[in-house]
Amino acid sequence: MRKITSLNRGWLFHRGRADGADFMGYDDRGWREVTLPHDWSVEEPFDKANSSGTGYLPGGSAWYRKHFDLPEEASGKRVRITFGGVYKHARVWINSNYLGFRAYGYTTFTFDVTGFVRPGENVIAVSVEHEETADSRWFTGSGIYRDVTLEITDRIAFRQDGIFILTKDAEKDGEATLEIRYETIGADGARFVLLDPDGTAAGETGSEGESGTAILRLDRAKLWSPESPALYTLRAAAIRDGKEYDAAGIPVGIRTAVFDPDRGFLLNGTETKLRGVCLHHDAGALGAAVPAAVWERRLKKLKEAGANALRTAHNPPDPALLELADRMGFLVMDEAFDEWEGAKNKWWQGHNVYPPKRFGYAEDFPEWHRFDLESMVKRDRNHPSVILWSIGNEIDYPNDPYVTPLFDEVLGNNDNGKPAEERRYDPRKPDAGRLAAVAKELREIVHGLDETRPVLSALSFPELSNRTGFAEALDAVGYNYRERFYERDHADYPDRIILGSENGHAPEAWYVVRDTPYVAGQFLWTGVDFLGECRGWPWRISQAGLLDLAGYEKPLYFQRKALWTKAPFVKIAVSSGDGKWAGPWTDRFLYTGTEGEPVKAALYTNAPEAELFLNGESLGKRTLTDADGGRIVYEFSYRPGALLARVPGAEDRLATPGKASRIALRPDKPAIPADGEAAAQIEAALLDEAGTLAAGDDRRVFFQIAGDASILGIENGRPDDLTPYAEKNRETFRGRAIVYLRAGLRPGKVTLTAFTRDGLSASLTLETT
């Protein structure tokens, strides 16, 4: 038997230190009850005294305690507790017994507590320390910010992450061969049954031995791909003396994934370009404690823009993200680290404002890198979405901290304003030659657990790493903003697998991928705006995303959709600004102006030709070329009214908005489960009399909830809005905001009411079932 139960509800939380809280009998009655995932950083105000790199939100220390009961039938069983992620430096006790310390805030870890638990009441205690907020280059969050689960199995059981399923070969709608490697505790064999996506048995196999390998062959396999993410389920049972123990169900995607130095990436034998985006792990008001439903909304939009790949920048992701990638059809670069032995610059007074601080994972890497890397690979290797292991991001960034006598002075891709002394070779800093040795060790660790996927590192300085042996130590080389080296390096290193691991939004960077067979793909920086890495107070976020922090599409999104999709569409935006930042960075979905003054309208489209109308009058037809980058621009004199864009098979309208006259509340679903954990996302939009989004008339909107539910947070995506996330009000940004709700345990009706100080109001009732 195997029973997995969520332990997310009913935790008690104390902000700060609490001497003796590891003791089972500690008096915690005055502590606050919270539901996991929980991030205390977003419960407190923004403060300029905190680090700009992590979004001006606090860290600190805290304790969590959880009382839970085990039934009598748990006696004699194996009991494990798994933490999806705790940021950071977690110490864990159960029933006053110390289980251990975990350093890295992104590693999933499991404790076997069989020898410490008992039928009846048990108590878990967790201490978390995140005292220095300048320990990262992006927002980390603080606390137990991912799920916690309790697993009860037979004593004879599979080891944690002890089953590895490999596709040895596969043909579309043809034969496929799976290899199943397993490790057990106390079994003398294992039995496996594969269920197809419809739940029908498609094949079975078995093997003898406490650990071993089994082969399973299929006559007609449904292959997994982004276009058709077919998922099988492997039912696994540990065997002892002919009797079945334990029972695991593992999703399986049957697919082949091959990187070729001349043909790029081939999925199921078909050349496939990786149209990827990099993702950090927060969701604004929710911090790092992001419900799967929020990621699903984001990924759905990215998919509609043509994205087929994700990079988990720059850490092991929430397991829920990979489950969504499997189900929705995304290819994943699973990344482990942002720094190794050398601490990078951490900006705390604004981006690139010197001097930096240098706290971070580097202090834990020497002791913990093997455990953390092995944990990621073992946890994630059964996901069909995962096609690459990345062991590091920009570890070779020049002079940060690694240096080389091969270059006396050098600038990286993000070094505006860097002082002259920071650009020059300094023999007192770590030598970049060390990176090759570390990379070889990390690659060997990965291949010891999974030899089927390439090991990559995202290089910022390939012109150096080619000479130090770092690039040679990798199976594939990721180039961050170094498209200009693709052709040269392909000629110099003809066996090298090349892809863009981090790229800007310029269409020209995509054209290189599109037109160059040996370049496997690109990963845009970024898919979604994120907290931190901001330019300075009062900005709290990085605005590099296709989607803003509230999950709304930006002009960049529609430019990418024009480059990455074929189904005809058109989207109107109004342009402002000239020079470097003109274009998608300054376009807005707002048609206002001064009558008679010049105005520009940008039509984002993948159609060969477009026509724009103003108040019914044609402003002419235009032809799209590569030079337009998916964006056709019209210039004309402003008149209020309505713009209408037409392309063959699609059209779009953008009207001059009036003043906000009502609030519209729009839920992502009509009902949510009353399980104490399910989340709903509700858009609050200001509309004018005609029902047009009042994008130019933002108001502060207040929210109240009636019924068994709570408001988790409110996000508008505005980069400089410093309203504390704990508040139950927020100003709209361009007419909208998103409210995140979490259901309670009582089925019934939940009503959200929104109102402004000048009399606008609306209510929405959801069912909790």
Could you tell me if 464 and 398 are in contact, meaning their C-beta atoms sit under 8 angstroms apart?
yes
Q: d(Cα 461, Cα 488) in Å, to the nearest integer? A: 14
Burial (CB count <10 Å: 0-12, 13-18, 19+), residue 278:
buried
Q: Which residues pair with 101 in a beta bridge?
A: 91
pLDDT at position 425 = 84
Could you tell me if 62 and 15 are in contact, meaning their C-beta atoms sit under 8 angstroms apart?
yes
pLDDT at position 411 = 72
**pLDDT tens for each residue of 231-240:** 999 999 999 9
Widest CA span in the chain? 88
What would the two tokens of residue 348 be? 């705390």
Count the Cβ atoms, other than its own, within 10 Å of residue 692: 18
Res 528 pLDDT > 60: yes
Q: Read out DSSP for 210-223?
A: SEEEEEEEESS---
pLDDT at position 608 = 96
Average pLDDT over residues 420-439: 89
Name the nearest CA neighbour of 529 among 188, 283, 189.
283
pLDDT at position 171 = 86
**pLDDT tens for each residue of 394-407:** 999 988 899 888 88
Name the nearest CA neighbour of 525 among 555, 546, 550.
546
What would the two tokens of residue 58 be? 């606090």
Q: d(Cα 145, Cα 335) in Å, to the nearest integer? A: 19
Count the Cβ atoms, other than its own, within 10 Å of residue 617: 11
Angle (CA) 647 650 653, round 5°: 90
Q: How many CA atoms lie within 13 A of 72 on its CB side?
A: 0
Q: d(Cα 498, Cα 522) in Å, to the nearest integer? A: 10
Q: d(Cα 614, Cα 54) in Å, to the nearest integer? A: 44
Q: d(Cα 379, Cα 108) in Å, to the nearest integer? A: 8
Mean residue pLDDT across the chain:
96
- C-alpha dist (Å) from residue 583 to 213, 273, 695: 56, 26, 19
Res 492 pLDDT > 80: yes
pLDDT at position 72 = 93
Count the Cβ atoms, other than its own, within 10 Å of residue 205: 16
Q: d(Cα 353, Cα 534) in Å, to the nearest integer? A: 11
Could you tell me if 191 and 42 are in contact, meaning their C-beta atoms sit under 8 angstroms apart?
no
pLDDT at position 490 = 98
The pTM (predicted TM-score) of the whole model is 0.97
Could you tell me if 250 and 164 are in contact, meaning their C-beta atoms sit under 8 angstroms apart?
no
pLDDT at position 408 = 77
Name the nearest CA neighbour of 376 among 420, 428, 321.
321
Could you tell me if 477 and 468 are in contact, meaning their C-beta atoms sit under 8 angstroms apart?
no
Res 207 pLDDT > 90: yes
Name the nearest CA neighbour of 467 among 440, 432, 496.
432
Res 578 pLDDT > 70: no
Poorest-pLDDT segment among 570-579, 638-647, 676-685, 700-709: 570-579
Q: d(Cα 573, Cα 559) in Å, to the nearest integer? A: 11
pLDDT at position 174 = 86
Quick one: what percent of the chain has pLDDT higher than 70?
A: 99
pLDDT at position 579 = 55
**pLDDT tens for each residue of 637-685:** 999 999 999 999 999 999 999 999 999 999 999 999 999 999 999 999 9
pLDDT at position 352 = 86
pLDDT at position 666 = 98
Poorest-pLDDT segment among 117-131, 387-401, 411-425, 693-707: 411-425
pLDDT at position 400 = 87
pLDDT at position 283 = 98
Res 581 pLDDT > 60: no
pLDDT at position 590 = 96
**pLDDT tens for each residue of 531-542:** 999 999 999 999
**pLDDT tens for each residue of 81-112:** 999 999 999 999 999 999 999 999 999 999 99
Which residues, other chains included, contact 339 with Cβ-Cβ below 8 Å and sequence gap of 6+? 360, 361, 362, 365, 392, 395
pLDDT at position 577 = 58
DSSP strand E in 586-649: where?
598-605, 609-614, 617-623, 631-637, 642-647
Could you tell me if 276 and 331 are in contact, meaning their C-beta atoms sit under 8 angstroms apart?
yes
Which residue type is seen at 700? R
- What is the DSSP-derived secondary structure letter of residue 52? G
Split at pLDDT 50, 70, 90, the class of 311 is very high
Could you tell me if 287 and 277 are in contact, meaning their C-beta atoms sit under 8 angstroms apart?
no
Split at pLDDT 50, 70, 90, the class of 422 is confident
Average pLDDT over residues 731-752: 97
